[in-house]
A = this chain, B = another copy of it.
């Protein structure tokens, strides 16, 4: 099962392909080699493409522009599904009044929290006047002073029992070949740990984002789960989530999981991809 295969020969048997973004299509240096060719190949075969990414820092439009700027042509806005969109939908469905507090940048707050409600950065919250705050969102690891504002968040959430949403559950993200940075999901975990509470996390491996992509896809035709291939570089998010949702899964070795780690991780985690490929190239 651990024998590596050609990605294109696998993908051609499916009616749709779901791709993770970082580690599959792009990395810290730019586009993964061959990404454009593979996208073009899938388009020619009329195979639908969706990109499922745990990211709450950029809107669909900003994501699409970013691919374009990296040199990847032809990704449409509606083909991008982010964990931030899931958080946005939740807020619209569930939080109907009050002000939404957040940890993150003005930009991510702008696009995620545009639900008609006001929003306020932790930085600007006065802990003596929190009656109006009806929910809290962990958006992004930037846009605030960690030392001051993480502590402020802990105390806000000790004083007021409100729904807390994590717009991207990833604990870390890569910043170079070897190095990573703590992501907002990691900071949220720290705060959960302080408070002994469980927040509402969005993003792979949770089914919500797969469900959204699946429903959206089915507006363009009739796709059953076994006609869709999920492609990712992370066993714990992409492959676990894809497997659980009932999709076929491919682990690519162009990102977070090296060839040497793959066998060991699969064995020790019990998370088993249907296929393994070096990358989406050829």
Which residues of A are in contact with B by a Cβ distance under 8 Å? Answer: 89-90, 93-94, 127, 145-147, 150-151, 154-155, 157-159, 161-164, 171-172, 178-182, 186-187, 189-190, 193-200, 206-208, 211, 225-226, 240, 243-248, 264, 266-272
Give Cα A196 to B246, complex, Å: 23
Give Cα A178 to B157, complex, Å: 12
Q: A146-B146, A244-B90 are in contact. Are A155 and B182 (CB under 8 A)?
A: no
Q: Are B211 and A246 in contact (CB under 8 A)?
A: no
- Can you list 17 pairs linking A and B with CB atoms under 8 Å apart? A90-B244, A93-B225, A93-B246, A94-B243, A151-B180, A154-B182, A158-B178, A158-B179, A158-B180, A159-B178, A161-B270, A161-B272, A162-B272, A163-B243, A164-B270, A180-B194, A197-B270
A197 to chain B, nearest CB (A): 4
Q: Which of B94, B179, B190 contacts A189 (CB 8 A)?
A: B190
When distances are taken between beta carbons in the complex, the residues of chain B under 8 Å from A94 are 243, 246, 248
Q: A194-B171, A272-B161 are in contact. Are A182 and B151 (CB under 8 A)?
A: yes
Give Cα A172 to B264, complex, Å: 22
Q: What is the count of identical protomers in the complex?
A: 4
Q: A172-B154, A207-B207, A270-B161 are in contact. Are A190 and B182 (CB under 8 A)?
A: yes
Q: Are B198 and A271 in contact (CB under 8 A)?
A: yes
Secondary structure at the A interface, as helix, strand, loop or mixed, is: helix
When distances are taken between beta carbons in the complex, the residues of chain B under 8 Å from A225 are 93
Q: Are A150 and B154 in contact (CB under 8 A)?
A: no
3 closest A-B pairs (Cβ-Cβ)? A93-B246, A146-B146, A197-B270
Give Cα A195 to B171, complex, Å: 10
Q: Are B197 and A207 in contact (CB under 8 A)?
A: no
